[in-house]
Amino acid sequence: MKILLVGGAGREHAIALALKRSSKEPRISCFADLVNPGINKVVKETGGEFFLGSINDHGAIIRAAQKVGADFVFIGPEEPNFHGVPDRIEESGIKCIGAGRKVAELEMSKASMRDLQWKYKIPGRLWYKKFKTYEEALPYIQEYAESVALKPARQSGGKGVKVIEDFQVYLQEDKRKVKKEHAEMIVKEHMKDYDDIDYKLLIEERVWGPEYTVQCFTDGRTVVPMPAVQDNKHAFDGDLGLETGGMGSISCGMNLKWGVDDDRAIITEEECRRSADIVKLMIDAIQKDTGQRYHGIAAGQMMLTSVWGPTVIEMYSRLGDPEAGNVMTALKTDLVEICEGIIEERLNTVKVEFEDMAVAVKAVCPEGYPDKRDLAKGHPVALEGAGEGVLWASAEETGGVVRTGGSRVVECVGTGDALPEASAKAEELTKSVRLTDGWRTFHRKDIGSEKSLLRRVQLGSMARDIYKYRERKGLLGKRMIWVPGKGLVEVG
């Protein structure tokens, strides 16, 4: 069995380790734009090869797959999906785990994703408006938009989203200005290099509630959910600071319980099931709309909101990073068997199981991340101890030396019977990482801690009280306004 893995970040290191555990003892090769030391180790141990090149260059990837005689290619990140790399690989006669260009539209265009959700009346849909130019959006931003999320309409690597709350009436003028400036920045800065989309800017109603990701394996017929994971986006403890690609993530069992024997949970099992049902409806809808079969991973980045309960914020066409560290660690079933089930479209015959365990992932970042990445880049890194449980992320190995790439350098994975225990183990692992030139690193201590769990459980419970009430009254997902003389009127 020979596999070519595409991508060189922490997510792909987690995938490589899961593939390596397979009883089929696969020979794992990797194609990435830099040599990730962790993946390189797996490649060496299993007798594979490491190829350097652009992960969007389908020709080079196909040549590498042919050279190693790959039984299949596993695409880790989203950009190759957006560039049709899985389509070209399959056309060349090589099997591939990765969303084809047409179905990857679910992630690539946040505007198309919302269109599809409304067209097929899929639960968890938010109100939105999409714009091709900044000028078109301007009157809307200035006159009408209140509490909103302003978004680049194309996925741009987790940059550019701004959520604006409008309840402080005395700040309305300033907020209008912020909205205007940010909308302009999205179109002029974040979207300027993309000519592969029609719509540039999305304005969405603003909602609140705990966020979580439900990642699923799919062969286009069957959708198999993995444990729900909560990512922590903000740079510093207490959810403060700039948003990052993800500072760490937690999971326990299928539904984010506190512990294996502690049922306090951020979301309930039923909410988990509903979220997976939504992902399935999205997959069915995109397949119906495009005629393309979905082979790979689809995930819902969800929020438990008071309006809908499980609500889609955005979709992924791949595993999340750091969320991959959680699910790949807890995966009990042979990942190669799952991949074969996807390729042969018989995923329903594979019994996919996960350990009932808590997993906490903490990303360690060089100072400067996320806004001054040039300062965070190029520092030599040493990992003291065996490095067991540490995933290499934005790190490059050249000539035997490992240097930081400017983003999260490693992801420390702790496990246990309960999240605070898993968090403490991940915390211990962060001590094994050192930048040998003395440059400082930082990470979040609070990921999976009792205090932060309590806050998240409470937030979930507040959103749940309201959406359950709405559900009982038949008001789930409905927006009502008060019209004098008429009373409550449903709109939209």
Q: Which chain residues interact with ligand ADP by CB under 6 A? A: 126, 149, 151, 155, 158, 161, 163, 204-207, 211, 233, 301, 313-314
Residues 366 and 404: their CA atoms lie apart, in Å, by 8
> At closest approach, how far in Å is the CB of 201 from ligand ADP?
13
Residues 232/444, Cβ–Cβ less than 8 Å:
yes
- The residue (of 178 and 260) whose beta carbon lies closer to ligand ADP is 178
Cα 488 from chain centroid? 38
- The residue (of 108 and 409) whose beta carbon lies closer to ligand ADP is 108
| Nearest residue to the partner ligand ADP, using Cβ | 149
- The residue (of 114 and 403) whose beta carbon lies closer to ligand ADP is 114
Residues 250 and 421: their CA atoms lie apart, in Å, by 12
- The residue (of 47 and 492) whose beta carbon lies closer to ligand ADP is 492
> At closest approach, how far in Å is the CB of 138 from ligand ADP?
20
- The residue (of 313 and 359) whose beta carbon lies closer to ligand ADP is 313
Q: 3-class SS at 118? A: helix
Contact partner, 408, from Mg ion, ligand ADP, none, Cβ < 5-8 Å per class: none
Amino acid at 408: R
Contact partner, 105, from Mg ion, ligand ADP, none, Cβ < 5-8 Å per class: none
Residues 131 and 348: their CA atoms lie apart, in Å, by 41
Contact partner, 151, from Mg ion, ligand ADP, none, Cβ < 5-8 Å per class: ligand ADP
Q: How many residues bind Mg ion (CB under 5 A)?
A: 2
> At closest approach, how far in Å is the CB of 473 from ligand ADP?
23
Burial bucket for residue 382 (CB in 10 Å: 0-12, 13-18, 19+): exposed
Q: Binding mask 299-318 vs Mg ion (x if CB under 5 A, - otherwise)?
A: --x------------x----
> At closest approach, how far in Å is the CB of 305 from ligand ADP?
8
Q: Are strands 95-97 and 72-75 parallel, antiparallel or unpaired?
A: parallel
- The residue (of 308 and 392) whose beta carbon lies closer to ligand ADP is 308
In sequence order, the β-bridge partners of residue 252 are 358
Residues 459 and 475: their CA atoms lie apart, in Å, by 21
Q: Concatenate the DSSP letters of all residues of 188-245 into one string.
A: IIITTT--S-S--EEEEE---S-EEEEEEEE-SS-EEEPPPBEE--EEETTTEEEE-S
- The residue (of 322 and 341) whose beta carbon lies closer to ligand ADP is 322
The single residue listed with the structure tokens 């949970």 is 265
Residues 242/188, Cβ–Cβ less than 8 Å:
no
Q: Binding mask 314-353 vs Mg ion (x if CB under 5 A, - otherwise)?
A: x---------------------------------------
Residues 413 and 387: their CA atoms lie apart, in Å, by 10
> At closest approach, how far in Å is the CB of 206 from ligand ADP?
4
Residues that bind Mg ion (CB under 5 A): 301, 314
